[in-house]
Amino acid sequence: MIKDITLGQYFPSDSIIHRLDPRFKIVIMIVYMIMLFSGDSLICLGIGTLYTLISVVMTKISFKLYIKSIKPIFPFLIFTALLNIFFIKDGDIYFQWKFIKITSSGVDTSIFMIVRIVLLLIGTSVLTYTTSPIVLTDAIERLLNPLKKIKFPVHELAMIMSIALRFIPTLIEETDKIISAQKARGAELDSGNLIAKTKGLIPILIPLLISSFRRAEELATAMECRCYNGGDGRTRLRQMKSGISDYIALFFTVLFFIAVIIINHIIK
Amino acid sequence: MAEIKIMENIIKTENLKFNYQNGSEEKPIINEVLKDINIEIKKGEFVAVLGHNGSGKSTFAKHLNAILLPCSGKVYINNIDTADDDNLFNIRKCAGMVFQNPDNQIVASIVEEDVAFALENMGVPYEEMRKRVDDALKAVGMYDYRFHSPNQLSGGQKQRVAIAGIIAMRPECIILDEPTAMLDPQGRREVMKTIKTLNKECGITIVLITHYMNEAVECGRVVVMDNGRIVFDDTPENVFSNVEEIRKIGLDIPQTTELIYLLNKEGLGLDSHIITEEQCINAIERLLK
Amino acid sequence: MSILKTENLTYVYSQGTPFEKIAVNKINIEIEKGEFVGIIGHTGSGKSTLIQHFNGLLQPTSGKIFIDGNDIWSNKENIRQVRFKVGLVFQYPEYQLFEENVFKDIAFGPKNMGLSEKEIKERVYDTAKLLEIPENFMKRSPFELSGGQKRRVAIAGVMAMNPEILILDEPSAGLDPHGRDIILDIIKNYHKKTGSTVMIVSHSMEDTAKYAEKILVMNKSELFCYDTVENVFRRSEEIEKIGLDVPQITRVFNKLRSHGISFGKEIYTVERAREVILDMLKKEGRI
């Protein structure tokens, strides 16, 4: 069933990370990403891994869930790693047989790539597991607020995003219902070749589209009736307050980042 | 002073006419939806507007919130002409609107944020907003669900959240456009109970658009619409005693009223103004003893 | 032999997760051919889950379903045939319309059955006639029609498959009294004409009492009772206790009974109430 797909992947809890100001979390995430890609020695990679592990432990969310977030891209990781190993020909040769040549540089690149991507995914999961998508959207809106001055539609984009989040579960439920209804009329949805399968989607997509338009229209009227008039002059129920722990978190992240830069510099 | 205030009109229409235009530009087909509606609703009233689909009742409702403007005639909400563009938000703050589909009027993913939506739009400061949101949620009995996602709620609960979103604006009047049509009996009861409390305890004027006669029976005043016109405007007892006319329009009458009507056809001469179960039981008891 | 029979039918949602919930629990019923059954129960009582088992949309977690004496899950390949035998009309069926014209939409089911062009045409026109869908609608887009008309087209789409059992989930939901009467009369008429078994899920006790011959009551995932209308309303106090409505007229007559006035039979329609009262007055020689 489509219903079983969990969206947003938010796991409510009361850890320190959960309680951080979402705006800080986003900024920290950006610093973290830069950190991962600024060091090219194993020590730097180690520091990144250490930082990630500390954060993961602090979220109080089972490690298994983090593994789950990497799983889907695992085959892709292996594939690119192999490409790197076989096609980078610089550096010391570890192994050579006929046209196959494995070099130190190839192995290094592969390891760095895999570790970085894994860390990046886990880091993103730390953010999305501890922050509900709606809060995240809100935080992004507030961070991007200065862009309003250059007429960038910050509020509009955030509103679109949050309405989408609001209606995803509703639409999933609706899709389920339409699928059942068409199946009851003998529709075959998962058999035949690609063309037959695509054709089989029409009885589902058309009703879904029509109902989405209807919903959009009704929602627009309802919003107007509640005095919606764009983002100007709006106040918010959700307050975002930054506290000492937010600054401490940012401080430590920057500290790790500086450590990476310095070590990287020394080793070179 | 207070008594004079009760007599004040909150809603007033004067020769309200509305038509949709179909067909081509050269040969327009004019579809008259509202034909000359004149009605006055006083502050604190609980009015049901009853009619079948296509009777014009929803179109009428949309005029009370300036979603639609009259083709001719006037609509006044709290003495403000709805055609006055500068007062649009004042009209909407004064007369809030609840729609049929509970899903399609909830904007936010968290109950309390949805209730705050109108206040956020109006720029109400945080402290005041917090209080109004909590009050509104308590008034509809949804305070315990304030952190829930709307998707976790039943239809009746969603509709109560929608009502809370309106009363957070502190309106004087709420117009509900078939709020129970998509609900199960349990949800219907919840919504009816909620709006009755709001009417009684907060003095909010209620205009309930519906095609369920059993909801109309609970109101103080029933306005029946047919074919774009008001055909009855009276107490539920007086309206439903017109069994044949109400039937002809395509509406139901209470089973109790129907029974009395059928018995009177046999010449039993009972009071035809019976609508409640209590009245019916008494009448039959008297008849059989 | 019964046309539909269940044996300890049980369905568990999200089995093995923290959200595990028994939706229907050990249901045993037998429904005879040609019956008109009303299904009632709260939202979440399991009635929707139950009817989705009848046409094989859901597979029971345990227990069996027999249609015409055959276990429908004995051969999974045949499950599509079961859906043609047991037609299921969902709530608000007009939301599943998708074809460019009314004819094509009604023909969708029969086409999936693999019928010939000629037969499809016959069935579509026959069903349309039964449902009072005018012929000049056939070439029109279903989306141009009014709510009640759309509903009829959607129901026609299932009826055109000529199912042996027709199940409708709240066919009159959201319609006004007139629209409701049209739909219910059409279904009654279909039942009379074709002699097929019909089941209607409804929240309205008044409608169920008026149309159905037998009533199936679901409560908290279990079968509360399955009996004739008369027998079910004999238990109207229990039914009110589980939070379901009984017709207003039944409530009135139950009260009268508690005031010491006795009536020979159960009162669940206004017509019956009228008869009973007139009979009593006649007996006393007052009219």
Describe the crossing of helices A22-38 and A244-267 by its angle, rounded to 10 degrees: 10
CATH code (residue C218): 3.40.50.300
**Interface touch C278/B266, C-beta < 8 Å:** yes
As beta bridge partners, residue C238 has none
Residue C267 located in a structural domain: yes
- Summarize chain C as % helix, strand, coil (round to 5): 45, 20, 35
**Interface touch C96/A211, C-beta < 8 Å:** no
Cα A257 from Cα B142, distance rounded (Å): 47
As beta bridge partners, residue B174 has B96, B206
Q: Compare all CA atoms of chain A with the CA of C55 and give the residue at the minimum distance.
A: A184
Whether C223 and C255 map to the same domain: the answer is no
**Interface touch A166/B150, C-beta < 8 Å:** yes
Write the DSSP assignment of B12-75 as a string of letters: EEEEEEEEEEEE-SSSEEEEEEEEEEEEEEETT-EEEEE--TTSSHHHHHHHTTTSS--SEEEE
Q: Within 13 A of A213's CA, how many CA atoms are on the CB side?
A: 7
Whether C178 and C285 map to the same domain: the answer is no
Would an 8 Å CB–CB cutoff place C153 in contact with chain A?
no
**Interface touch A233/B151, C-beta < 8 Å:** no
Is C144 exposed, middle or buried, given 0-12, 13-18 or 19+ CB atoms closer than 10 A? exposed
CB atoms within 10 A of CB C17: 9
Residue A173 has pLDDT above 80, yes or no: yes
On chain C, the residues whose CB falls within 8 A of the CB of A187 are 108, 112
What is the SS3 assignment for A8?
coil
Our count of domains for chain C comes to 2
Residue C25 located in a structural domain: no
Whether B258 and C270 have beta carbons less than 8 Å apart is answered as yes
Cα C201 from Cα B130, distance rounded (Å): 43
Whether C74 and C209 map to the same domain: the answer is yes
Range with the poorest average pLDDT among A105-114, B23-32, B206-215: B23-32
Residue C209 located in a structural domain: yes
Whether C224 and C190 map to the same domain: the answer is yes
Residue C195 located in a structural domain: yes
Cα B116 from Cα C141, distance rounded (Å): 41
Residue A6 has what pLDDT?
44
**Interface touch B263/C43, C-beta < 8 Å:** no
As beta bridge partners, residue C240 has none
C277: domain range? 247-287
Whether C275 and C195 map to the same domain: the answer is no
Whether C283 and C158 map to the same domain: the answer is no
On chain A, the residues whose CB falls within 8 A of the CB of C157 are 185
Q: Which residues of chain C fall below pLDDT 50?
A: none
Residue B52 has pLDDT above 70, yes or no: yes
pLDDT digits (tens, 9 = 90+) for A51-66: 999 999 999 988 888 8
Q: Which chains does A contact via 3+ CB–CB distances below 8 A?
A: B, C
Residue C75 has what pLDDT?
87
Residue A8 has what pLDDT?
52
Would an 8 Å CB–CB cutoff place C97 in contact with chain A?
yes
Residue B7 has what pLDDT?
67
Cα B173 from Cα B198, distance rounded (Å): 10
Report the gap between the CA of C251 and the closest CA in chain B (Å).
8
Q: DSSP class of residue A4? A: G
pLDDT digits (tens, 9 = 90+) for B273-282: 999 999 999 9
DSSP-H helix ranges across chain A: 16-19, 22-38, 42-59, 63-70, 74-87, 104-130, 133-144, 154-184, 194-225, 244-267
On chain C, the residues whose CB falls within 8 A of the CB of A200 are none
Q: Compare all CA atoms of chain A with the CA of B113 and give the residue at the minimum distance.
A: A237
What domains does chain B contain, in order, with CATH numbers? Answer: 2-253 (3.40.50.300)
pLDDT digits (tens, 9 = 90+) for B129-186: 999 999 999 999 999 999 999 988 999 999 999 999 999 999 999 999 999 999 999 9
Residue C19 located in a structural domain: no
- β-strand C36-40 against C197-201: which pairing, if any? parallel
Tokens for C127? 């069903």
**Interface touch B251/C177, C-beta < 8 Å:** yes
**Interface touch B99/A222, C-beta < 8 Å:** yes
On chain C, the residues whose CB falls within 8 A of the CB of B258 are 270
**Interface touch B121/A218, C-beta < 8 Å:** no
**Interface touch B108/A224, C-beta < 8 Å:** no
Whether C101 and C162 map to the same domain: the answer is yes
Mean pLDDT for chain A overall? 88
CA C220 to chain centre: 19
Cα C218 from Cα C43, distance rounded (Å): 10
Which amino acid, residue A53? Answer: L
Residue B3 has what pLDDT?
47
Report the gap between the CA of C243 and the closest CA in chain A (Å).
27
**Interface touch A237/B165, C-beta < 8 Å:** no
Q: Compare all CA atoms of chain C with the CA of B258 and give the residue at the minimum distance.
A: C270
On chain B, the residues whose CB falls within 8 A of the CB of C261 are 284-285, 288
On chain A, the residues whose CB falls within 8 A of the CB of B119 are 235, 237
**Interface touch B181/C278, C-beta < 8 Å:** no
Whether C76 and C217 map to the same domain: the answer is yes
Nearest to B120 among A165, A215, A237 (CB): A237
Cα A231 from Cα C47, distance rounded (Å): 45
Mean pLDDT for chain B overall? 92
Residue A93 has what pLDDT?
79
Residue B6 has pLDDT above 70, yes or no: no
Whether C252 and C201 map to the same domain: the answer is no
Whether C129 and C198 map to the same domain: the answer is yes
In which order are the strands placed within the sheet that holds B205-210?
A: B95-98, B173-177, B205-210, B46-50, B221-226, B229-234
Q: Compare all CA atoms of chain B with the CA of C256 and give the residue at the minimum distance.
A: B281
Whether C253 and C139 map to the same domain: the answer is no
Residue C2 located in a structural domain: no
Residue A106 has what pLDDT?
84
Tokens for C267? 């009162």
Q: Compare all CA atoms of chain A with the CA of B100 and give the residue at the minimum distance.
A: A218
Interface of A with C in 154-183 (CB under 8 A): 174, 177-178, 180-183
- β-strand B173-177 against B205-210: which pairing, if any? parallel
**Interface touch A184/C83, C-beta < 8 Å:** yes
What is the SS3 assignment for C228?
strand
Mean pLDDT throughout B56-75? 94
Nearest to B65 among A225, A238, A239 (CB): A225
Describe the crossing of helices C270-283 and B255-265 by its angle, rounded to 10 degrees: 40
What is the SS3 assignment for B10?
strand
Q: DSSP class of residue C90? A: P
Would an 8 Å CB–CB cutoff place B89 in contact with chain A?
yes
Which amino acid, residue B138? Answer: K
Whether C260 and C124 map to the same domain: the answer is no
Is A29 exposed, middle or buried, given 0-12, 13-18 or 19+ CB atoms closer than 10 A? middle
Q: Compare all CA atoms of chain B with the CA of C284 and give the residue at the minimum distance.
A: B288
| Nearest partner of A177 among A197, C4, A169, C82, judged by Cα | A169
Would an 8 Å CB–CB cutoff place A203 in contact with chain C?
yes
DSSP H or E run through C31: strand C30-31
Mutate one of B101, B120, B146 to test the A interface: name it (highest A CB count within 10 A): B120
Interface of C with B in 39-58 (CB under 8 A): 42-43
